Chains A and B, each alone.
Chain A
Amino acid sequence: MNEELLRISEGIVKRASIEGFNESAALSINTRRTMLKIANSEPSITQHWSSLNVVVYLAKDRRIIIMEFHPRDESEIYKSMADLLKVAAKVMESPLYAPLPEPVEVRPLEGLVDREIVERLEEPSTLAEAAIEAAHREKIDSIAGTIDLWYREKALSTSSGVSLYEDSTGFQAYLRAFAEPSGSGQWSTCSTRFNLRSIEGTALTAAKYAVESRYREKVEVGKYDVIMSPMVFGNLLELTMRMASAFNVLMGLSMFMGKKPGDKIASDKLRVFDEPRNTELPRATSFDDEGVPTYNKAVIDGGVLKTLLHNSKTASKMGAVTTGNAGWISPAPWNITVGLGDYSLDEMISEVRRGILITNNWYTRLQNYVEGVFSTVSRDAVFLIEDGKVVKSIEKIRIADRLPSILNNIEALGKDLYNIMWWEVTIPSKLPYVLIKDVNVTKPTI
């Protein structure tokens, strides 16, 4: 497929030049993916996709057009291209425009393809069986979840001379266990390489939290020291890292509006990285959508904002240098990792006088992106901590606070890192439990 996929991308770029566009890039992505969903401890559906997706960037006299196709054949792309050339003449120049970068040598990443994942695309039901069996080693009532495996190839060609191909595999699994009365736990894992034990471990962690969170009791609202699991911190950190996209800063969708590299934005203890060259995490890649080589970078180091995430357009607009995070329009993080702390979870709990351990959350929404005002709702196990000990399972709560406060009030980070990826953490992340001081906790008044 390597040559055929490149042929498609290169053919589109050639055709764009013939049509009269000054610049173009084509990214063809061929995917084979299998997902097995579990509900009530049995499969609910097995899904398989085999698809070719082509994304095209076109520029004409500094006007920008982006096309996306799941095409039956290239002729449909060519026809749209001709139509859009007429449109391009009528659009004003894009203030984001910058030329596509010249080719730079890309150092390939080794180890992105695991043949076992490719083989398991054909027969995923044994994985569901293993997950269900592992979860039921604990006294749970049922388990639900998703096991998702994929093989993906991408071929990028640009009019500036880039011609690159890469293939990779990945999997994610997330599982949620239920134990009556009212207990539930959820956990996730992901990698570029298959690991049955991590799927079983995910099932066991979910089941353990489900059993431990039965018999929930009420809790008062107010300020608490909160230990966030990697699931919870991963959700808030993904939001933070998306706000580090220079495009979102320019569009008013970021609390980093008005901030610049060098500004202190978080606790000294926090180090956050974008790691496209971490070959363990599923979005690892050696080049971005502009063909720029990727590199691992600190985005927050010692609580200081080190860089925004740029493509060549946002970099040009903001007087910076691309960070290899294109997205032709909006840069985005590849994989998110957090620097190690020195606490085990038990040690972290022992530091807390009056606090809450929250293991999972969802539905994070913002009142104001610029000021980072948000709330998020717990789901699954939540525990009250008093005088250094977990004392009881408690009912669902809501955290309503400011993201800048959360980042600044980080008191301790765990020394164990977990690979997290699920519905609410869509960018693969490797991160620890985190202790945050003085978090505002609310719940309904009627």
Chain B
Amino acid sequence: MALRGDLMEDLVLYAVDYARSAGATYAEARYHRNSLRSIISNNGSILGVGSEVVEGMGIRVIVGGALGFSATNRLERSSIKAAVDRAISQARSAFRLMKHPIELAESKLGRAKYSVLEAKHFDSLSFEEKACFHTDLWKATSRSISEAKASALFIEYTESFEEKIVANSDGAFIESKVPRIALFYNLVITHPQKGSIQRWEMLGASGGLEWLDKWRLINRLEEDAKTYEKILLTAIEPPKDAVDLVIGSEIVGLMVHESCGHPSEADRILGREAAQAGKSFIKRGMIGERIGNENATVIDDPSIPGSYGFYLYDDEGVPAKPRYLYKEGVINEHLHNRWTAKVYGVESNAAARSMDYKSEPIVRMANTYLKPGNYRLEELIEDIELGVYMKSYMEWNIDDERWSQRYVGLEAYLIERGEIKGFVKNPALEITTGGFYSNIDAVGREVKFYAGTCGKGEPPQGVPVWFGGPDVKLRKVRLGVSIA
């Protein structure tokens, strides 16, 4: 983006300088361009092709302790000046209502340029080949089962680039470019007497088409369709008594995202998202308190190569690093931006992210996972007399303080005398955060990651994340059965 980059760099620096001269004690400008191409299909037929460019500048200022944000996609000096003036005037008028003026923590800020490369370029496959891929996926899925029927396979395939130039009046200057690939599908398998089963899943990563090879989608969907057919035809109710439970990495990943990552967001703890995403069961002063046993270590790391939530500097210019949110069962560290870091008297750990130019940077996760242990799956189940292995899910939710959560298994198995047996239908795990982290009996040794779009903020911002972990075993859990 050489020429465009030079022009935008000038505008970003102009916005920061002008804001400072107009009275802002802190000024930050972010040129942000999200571009994507998508192909959507249903049952192998291409419904349409999408193309999107969302490009503009977001400007954030502090005036007298109040925060103002303004965004525009009219990228010339007069519009940028007007946007800066607007952010300043609105912050100035809000200041009279401020009881706790906003300040930012001192931070080591970066001056760097980085980009993620596509190992296999998006244009190394022709458009026709990508369209054919949709058709091939449908053919393979629909042909793989005979008693039940694949009645819908909706696929949205997306290639995107996120380009940013971030500068602020404290000296940060970061230019970045990250390509991403994502595929969302919704599969419905139906049987005239047994009803239906539904699976939607999102796969995503930073990089290029090399991920299509890694995902082995045709095999994956063929095998999944066969599994879902068997679940429809053969699944039985889960045991009613308390049993040992092996939770698959997909659900463990979601659990640590929901019940460790979110409640560890310092802005949430401080009440900034109270009317939207809610508060947290973690209150100020709880660093060092126990939340689980020694198996409960949860890490959020933006710098994992190839990850969907990858970045090296956050949108305030702070260098990224792994954050140990829970460490051996103890609340260890929160996710911070420079404002929350100032309130807590710590350094920012680079959690400020924004979805696009229209969005203010707020505290977000990147790639959150449970630290692996030593066990293979067979070793986790070998001593279980009667239990359940919940491998994947469809339905889940958690309360707004991130304490009471529910996951309903989709692919789930009965375990008898140390062996995986047939399927159980819709086992519902309803558990508290403390209950989960305190009862982890054993942890698998292989971490797998899953992609998602994490929502927070107002207007809502969806940012790419990975969540993951190994399989884990809990002892004596009473499962419900979904209403189905």
Contact = CB atoms under 8 A, between A and B. Distances in A.
A5 interface: no
Contacts of B346: none
A70 B355 CA distance: 14
A49 B152 contact: no
B98 A42 contact: yes
Contacts of A52: 73-74
B333 interface: no
B51 A67 contact: yes
Nearest to B408: A367
Interface string B49-72: 111111110000000001111111
A42 B97 contact: yes
Interface stretch (B20-28, B87-95, B292-300, B324-332): B87-95
Contact of B274 (A39, A253, A362): A39
A109 to B, nearest CB: 25
Contacts of A174: 275
B430 A445 contact: yes
B337 to A, nearest CB: 12
B97 A96 contact: no
Nearest to B75: A72
Given A48-B70, A69-B53, A175 B394 contact: no
Contacts of B122: none
Contact of B196 (A39, A69, A94, A370): A370
B93 A70 contact: no
B126 interface: yes
Contacts of B71: 47-51
B110 interface: no
A94 B98 contact: no
Given A46-B67, A445-B477, A91 B46 contact: yes
B236 to A, nearest CB: 17
Contact of B128 (A48, A90, A95, A445): A90
Contacts of A104: none
Interface string A6-48: 0000000000000000000000000000111111111111111
B272 interface: yes
Given A35-B459, A70-B54, A444-B404, A377 B398 contact: yes
Contact of A442 (B51, B97, B154, B406): B406
B77 to A, nearest CB: 13
A368 to B, nearest CB: 5
Q: Which of B99, B399, B479 has the most A CB atoms < 10 Å from its CB?
A: B399
A375 interface: yes
B160 interface: no
A362 to B, nearest CB: 6
Q: Bin chain A's interface residue count.
A: 35 or more
Interface string A357-394: 00000111111111101111111000000000000000
Given A91-B131, A368-B197, A368-B198, A43 B53 contact: no
B74 A50 contact: yes
B69 A64 contact: no
Nearest to A45: B67
Nearest to B190: A370
Contacts of B357: 70
Nearest to B51: A67
A70 B53 contact: yes
Contacts of A88: 49
Contacts of B90: 34, 46, 48, 123-125
B373 interface: no
A165 B431 CA distance: 52
A87 B127 contact: yes
A398 B394 contact: no
A1 interface: no
A71 interface: yes
A95 B134 CA distance: 14
B484 interface: yes
A288 B32 CA distance: 31
Interface in A142-177: 142, 144-146, 148, 174-176
B348 interface: no
A213 to B, nearest CB: 14
B52 A68 contact: yes
Nearest to B477: A446
A398 B53 contact: no
A11 B90 CA distance: 36
B127 A379 contact: no
Contacts of B221: none
Given A87-B127, A373-B484, A400-B482, A46 B94 contact: yes
A46 B90 CA distance: 6
Considering residues A41, A43, A52, A365, which has the most beta carbons from chain B within 10 angstroms of its beta carbon? A43
Interface in A233-261: 250-253
B278 interface: yes
Contacts of B383: none
B454 to A, nearest CB: 13
Interface in B164-205: 186, 188, 190, 195-198
Interface in B433-484: 435, 439, 458-460, 477-480, 482-484
A371 B131 contact: no
B397 to A, nearest CB: 4
A371 B48 contact: no
Interface string B251-292: 000000000000000000011111110100000000000000
A72 B73 contact: yes
B271 A144 contact: yes
Interface in B92-124: 93-94, 96-100
B426 interface: yes
A369 B189 CA distance: 12
6 contacts: A46-B87, A92-B131, A94-B48, A251-B154, A370-B190, A402-B483
Given A40-B271, A401-B483, 10 more contacts: A37-B272, A48-B70, A67-B52, A72-B75, A84-B49, A367-B394, A373-B483, A373-B484, A398-B406, A444-B435
Interface of A: 34-52, 63-72, 76, 80, 84, 87-88, 90-92, 94-96, 123-125, 128-129, 132, 142, 144-146, 148, 174-176, 178, 186, 250-253, 329, 362-371, 373-379, 396, 398, 400-402, 423, 440, 442-446
**A-B CB proximity, top 10 nearest:** A252-B152, A363-B397, A367-B395, A446-B435, A144-B274, A252-B188, A64-B48, A46-B90, A144-B275, A176-B275
